Structure 1
Amino acid sequence: MVRNAIDMHAHWVPPVVANALRQRHGNVPRIETLPDSTERLVMPIGTLNFNDGHTDASLRLKQMMGLGVSRQMLSLPGLFGIDSLPFDQAMPLVSAFNDACAELCKAHPDQFCGLAALPLASMDASVAELRRARLELGLLGAILPVDAFRNEATAARLKPIFKEAESLGAHFFVHPGRMPDSGPLPDAPPDHDLARRALAVQHEVGEAMVTLLLSDFLIPWRNITVQVANLGGTFPAVVERMDHMLALRDPSRALPSTRARVVWVDCASLGSRALEQAVAVFGADRVVLGTDCPIFDAARTIAGIEKSQLSVDDQTLILHGNAAKLLGRLF
């Protein structure tokens, strides 16, 4: 049994936000009722079964206890498409999430902490909401979409948010999701659509890693920590090829592998082999537990850590130690 694990990649939809999504008839995102009375969340790309596991905090606490998870860091996932809505639609929903998340964290301070959702269509409003979330609500930072880091030019648009976060001290979670002006990704081809979608998500995360690690974007920010979802996407699988290319064609530049420890990555939705590869690239002290609960199977992710070839000490760092240090600087 895992004891005292800290899950740094978990999602929650407060009932107030779920009810608002149920009222968005014909719009995306929305929650709709199926003929068998179950519900599904209609997202900009694809759908997701929606049930009490997304909304019921009491149920979540029971599930955590059964898994040996002592704390979750909660966020509103960007793939739902809420934070990338036009400002007048996004602002009520993200502020409702932030308020509810703060209330839950105050009611259960040892079990939950949270990250703010931001109304990304307005940088000024995003800065103000981050300030409110950090100073008034006690949230630890914000979730940001990987799409914002697809290149250095797009990342530069977030500098006002990072400047504010530097003054506050904050943690940013870079997670699959879109910026408001990017438009939705095309649907996956009908053959093997889930496999293709999984590959596309990991590619987008890898693109964000290239920007975050190989540019100078993060250098000015000393009071900010950055966590990237899904073990950094395709980056750890391709970094040796990146190194090889630069060594042959532009040896004056730093090898990508030497910049890998600029961020932390979580192991959400992946398994033992990917985890071992990521630890070889980033170091065990830069990997944290992430389960993507309730969207993915948290028990399977935790089992993947325990079944890996990593040492007990490295597993302990990933399950608890690294996250405890990250969170410790924010409280």
Structure 2
Amino acid sequence: MTRPTPPLEIIDFHTHLWPPAWGTGGRYARSRHGFAPEIHRKITTPASLVEEFCAAGVSRAVVTATIESLFGAEGPVDLAALREANDWLGTLSDDHPSLIGFAVTDAFSGEAGAAEAERAISQVGLAGLVIDSSRSGRFLADPAVRPTLEVAARHHVPVFVHPVAHPDSQFLIEGAGMLGNSLGRGLMNGVAFLSVIQSSLLDDLPGLHLVFATLGLGAIVQASRGGVYARQERAAGRRPNIYFDTMGHDPAIIATLTGFFGADRVVAGTDWPILSALSHDSLGASLALAGLNDEEARLVAGGNANRLLKLRQDNDLSTSPDQA
């Protein structure tokens, strides 16, 4: 007798919420960033995320609030406000167990950014980090970012690298509308990815696991020309600790991601509330259309994310004196 196939466990690795202090009337309130009123309402209402994902069949969601969205693309970051944001993110799972908060820090501020990352992970208990892909013309291989990445590697927590606006985004918008803005963000995310694979970071920090948004997918054309993603390296099944999210469920994009990086290096994600929740039925159908078998589909839908979220726990168990 054939056993029924269990449903996919879906973990969305790319969702956003803003702390109450950044909502309408809050002391750090900012403009809507051009968001429609409904998007703005959702991003400041955790219950909206929980309800929509529950209805869609999504098990859990990784929640982030980025430096760019909270403090803008330029200028200093208010440390007290940053700590307040992380303290709030640390309470999310208390009220909503399906939400997994990631700490936010200004990785480009050197030791100050690393200190807040350390506090948010070791004291607040957040499960990972989100950092901007660029700030003030610098990218992830910049020496200022190294201390924050060292914190993440030491604690074995994943780092989500979020796209930021291109410095000339207004020209891109004038040329191609908001899709031009998205393309510019993809360029910034792609350069951040390339900066990592051309540096010694992956070798120096074996405990570092980075997740990039699919907006930066165009960088694989350059990545394939040599190094860790050369054709022979990929053919040998070598997989650096770098992941890309799907930002939706387009089967052609999923096929490209899994074909280049491998199904064990792709995680489901949306950019909610900009994009709608992943439907259990539609994601499953798209994974099949992308040519993934059942095992590969389960990795992308939630298995890889689950593994990333357990890295810290597994490392703690393996290094515990009780396990010696």
Which residue is 2:126 aligned to? 139
Match for 1:56 among 28, 36, 45? Answer: 45
Query: SS state of the match for residue 174, structure 1?
Result: strand
Q: Could you tell me how far 1:184 is from its partner in structure 2?
A: 3.8
Query: Identity of counterpart residues, as a percentage?
Result: 23
Supply the AA of the counterpart residue of 2:19.
Answer: P
2:308 aligned with 1:326: yes
Supply the AA of the counterpart residue of 2:12.
Answer: D
Q: Could you tell me how far 1:196 is from its partner in structure 2?
A: 1.8
Which residue is 1:36 aligned to? none
TM superposition score normalised by structure 1? 0.78
Supply the AA of the counterpart residue of 2:85.
Answer: F
2:298 aligned with 1:313: no
Could you give the per-residue CA deviations for residues 105-146 of structure 1, whole angstroms, max 9, x where no partner exists?
23334x121111114563232111111101111112311122
What is the CA–CA distance in structure 2 between the aligned matches of 1:100 and 1:74, rounded to whole Å?
12
8 Å Cα contact 2:183/2:215 also seen in 1: no
Match for 2:230 among 256, 261, 264? Answer: 256
Seen in structure 2, the aligned counterparts of structure 1 residues 314 and 239 have a Cα distance that, compared at 3 Å, is farther
Which residue is 1:226 aligned to? 210
Seen in structure 2, the aligned counterparts of structure 1 residues 159 and 266 have a Cα distance that, compared at 3 Å, is same
After TM superposition, the structure 1 = structure 2 runs for residues 179-194 of structure 1, keeping only pairs within 5 Å, are: 184-187=167-170, 188-194=172-178
Query: SS state of the match for residue 111, structure 2?
Result: helix
Which residue is 2:3 aligned to? none
What is the CA–CA distance in structure 1 between the aligned matches of 2:295 and 2:54, rounded to whole Å?
22
What is the CA–CA distance in structure 2 between the aligned matches of 1:302 and 1:54, rounded to whole Å?
25
Supply the AA of the counterpart residue of 1:98.
Answer: N
8 Å Cα contact 2:263/2:299 also seen in 1: yes
Query: SS state of the match for residue 195, structure 2?
Result: helix
2:83 aligned with 1:75: no
Could you give the per-residue CA deviations for residues 223-254 of structure 1, whole angstroms, max 9, x where no partner exists?
22111111642123x258x43xx6xxxxxx66
Seen in structure 2, the aligned counterparts of structure 1 residues 153 and 77 have a Cα distance that, compared at 3 Å, is closer
8 Å Cα contact 1:271/1:301 also seen in 2: no
Seen in structure 2, the aligned counterparts of structure 1 residues 275 and 205 have a Cα distance that, compared at 3 Å, is same
2:282 aligned with 1:295: no
Seen in structure 2, the aligned counterparts of structure 1 residues 302 and 14 have a Cα distance that, compared at 3 Å, is farther
C-alpha RMSD of the superposition = 3.0
8 Å Cα contact 1:6/1:320 also seen in 2: yes
Which residue is 1:156 aligned to? 143
The alignment of Structure 1 onto Structure 2 pairs a total of residues equal to 297
Supply the AA of the counterpart residue of 1:11.
Answer: H
What is the CA–CA distance in structure 1 between the aligned matches of 2:128 and 2:175, rounded to whole Å?
39
Q: Could you tell me how far 1:285 is from its partner in structure 2?
A: 0.7
Which residue is 1:91 aligned to? 79
What is the CA–CA distance in structure 2 between the aligned matches of 1:254 and 1:316, rounded to whole Å?
25
TM superposition score normalised by structure 2? 0.80
What is the CA–CA distance in structure 2 between the aligned matches of 1:175 and 1:153, rounded to whole Å?
11
Q: Could you tell me how far 1:102 is from its partner in structure 2?
A: 0.5
8 Å Cα contact 1:64/1:70 also seen in 2: yes
Which residue is 2:322 aligned to? none
8 Å Cα contact 2:8/2:298 also seen in 1: no
Gaps of 5+ in 2: 1-5, 314-324
Q: Could you tell me how far 1:158 is from its partner in structure 2?
A: 0.8
Which 4+ runs in 1 deviate beyond 6 A?
Answer: 149-153
What is the CA–CA distance in structure 2 between the aligned matches of 1:8 and 1:220, rounded to whole Å?
26
Query: SS state of the match for residue 152, structure 2?
Result: helix
Which residue is 2:261 aligned to? 282
